[in-house]
Structures are given as C-alpha cells and as structure tokens.
Amino acid sequence: KAGVTQTPRYLIKTRGQQVTLSCSPISGHRSVSWYQQTPGQGLQFLFEYFSETQRNKGNFPGRFSGRQFSNSRSEMNVSTLELGDSALYLCASSLAGTSYTGELFFGEGSRLTVL
Amino acid sequence: AQKVTQAQTEISVVEKEDVTLDCVYETRDTTYYLFWYKQPPSGELVFLIRRNSFDEQNEISGRYSWNFQKSTSSFNFTITASQVVDSAVYFCALSEDNYKLSFGAGTTVTVRA
C-alpha cells in the first residue's frame, strides 16, 4: 500500500513569508504527527492530530499551526518565517486510537530552506 | 520530562562486524514505549522495533536484536553481521503514551565494504 506522502519535497522561502506543507497518511490511518528535524535540535515533536482534533502540541511558537481534514490529510503552516525554521519537516501517520501504542510511519519529509 | 540519550555520535565498522547502539532514557512513568528507528539518506524514518515497559524480554529479529533493561534504563540495539545497506542514522525514541515521541540525537552508522 502507498506510504506517507509529503509535498512539496523541497522549497525555498525568504524571511517573513509563510509556508504550507501537506501530508497524506497511509490509507486507514487516522493519526498524523509532525516533527521538525534540524542539525542543532534534532527531531522535535510539533503536533499530533486524530480525527481532525489536535491531541498534543510540542513546544513551538504560535507561528506553527496545523490542521487535519476529514479524509485524514493534514497540513502544517509556518507564518512569518525565520532563518531558524530551516529544517526537514517530517510527517508520520499511525493507526493510534485512544492511546499511543503503535509505530509511526514516516514520509520522506519536506525540506524547507529560509533565506 | 522525558529524555533519551544516545552517547555514540558516530560508529564506523567493516562489513560483517556487529554493531551495538546504546540508548539510555529517563522517565517518571511506569508505562512507556521504546522504539528504534532508522533514517537512511532518503530522509524518511523507518520503524525497526518497539518495546513496552512491561516486557523486558529480549528478542532477535533477523539480524536485529535488542537488550532492554529497566534497572539501568537502557534499550540497546545490535545489528549482527552488518551490511553496507545498514549505513544510516539510528534513533532511539521514547513515548509515554501521550501521542508523541522523544528522540535521541541519533547515531550515524557507517558500514564499509
């Protein structure tokens, strides 16, 4: 079956702009999580959605937001981009229901460069 | 707060050698899950193994094996008879059943032919 699909794979923005990243989970998966990966901070949790509801949020400023649609597809948005937002943004899906026990299936990520 | 420490930054071995990756974690919960993920150059994280805090049985799956010891808060991972395709960054991760993973800094494994 198809894996997690993230678009776009690469993008370049300038400071102050905003960006929207998209994630299509594996068919049947209702949970979508987002992670930011940078050389300095490593992999950090952004947020997790299940059935269109945000269940958990990491320690990121309000410029980072997300949403999930009824078909489980998710988008994340970063407004007023800063140089430090340059990172690989990874989306992951899982079957997780009322509690987290399942493994995450990750996409290949969207690599954002902010100039 | 959760914390995962992977003390080894890089490991380089020759093909067919065994590789053991160390992972130490901190948590205040009694129920938690531990994971190992692999990140090849393509970027996606690939799930390898999962262990819950109630199951300390160590297992072998193909060339992978793991050693979970709650007494020392360690969850080490071994690749037996390494191959060039095993070259990747390996991450240990911890979840306290709150829908997020806390990852270690990763260990870069290079397997030379």
Query: A68-81: per-residue pLDDT in tens?
Result: 999 999 999 999 99
| Contact residues on chain B for A58, CB-CB shorter than 8 A | 100
B111 burial class (0-12, 13-18, 19+ CB within 10 angstroms)? Answer: buried
Q: pLDDT category, B29, cuts 50, 70, 90?
A: confident
Taking CB atoms and an 8 Å cut-off, how many pairs form between chains A and B?
60
Rounded CA-CA distance B88/B109 in Å is 5
Q: Out of A4, A42, A100, whose CB is closest to B103?
A: A42
Handedness of CA B84, B85, B91, B95 (dihedral sign): negative
CB-based contact (8 Å) between A26 and chain B?
Answer: no
Tens digits of residue pLDDT in B74-92: 999 999 999 999 999 999 9
Chain A segment 41-60 residues within 8 A of B by beta carbon are 42-43, 45, 48, 50, 55-56, 58
What are phi and psi for residue A61, nearest 5 degrees? -65, 165
Q: Are B11 and B110 in contact (CB under 8 A)?
A: yes
pLDDT at site B89: 97
Please state the separation of Cα A47 from the chain's center in Å: 7
pLDDT at A80: 97
Cis bond upstream, residue A8 (ω within 30): yes
Output the pLDDT for position A101: 61
Distance linking the first and last C-alpha atoms of chain A: 37
Mean pLDDT (chain B) is 90
Round to whole Å and give the CA distance between B73 and B76: 10
Taking all residues of chain A, what is their mean pLDDT, rounded to a whole number? Answer: 92
Per-residue pLDDT tens over the stretch A15-47: 999 999 999 999 999 999 999 999 989 999 999
Record: contact A108-B43, CB cut-off 8 A: yes
CB contact under 8 A, A55 and B99: yes
Residue of chain A whose Cα is closest to the Cα of B96 = A100
Q: Confirm if A62 and A91 have CB atoms less than 8 A apart.
A: no
User: Phi-psi region for residue A51, left (φ > 0), alpha (ψ -120 to 50) or beta?
Assistant: left
| β-strand partners of B32 | none
C-beta atoms surrounding A68 within 10 Å: 23
Q: Hey, of A60, A91, A106, which one would you mutate to test binding to chain B, going by the most B CBs within 10 A of its CB?
A: A106
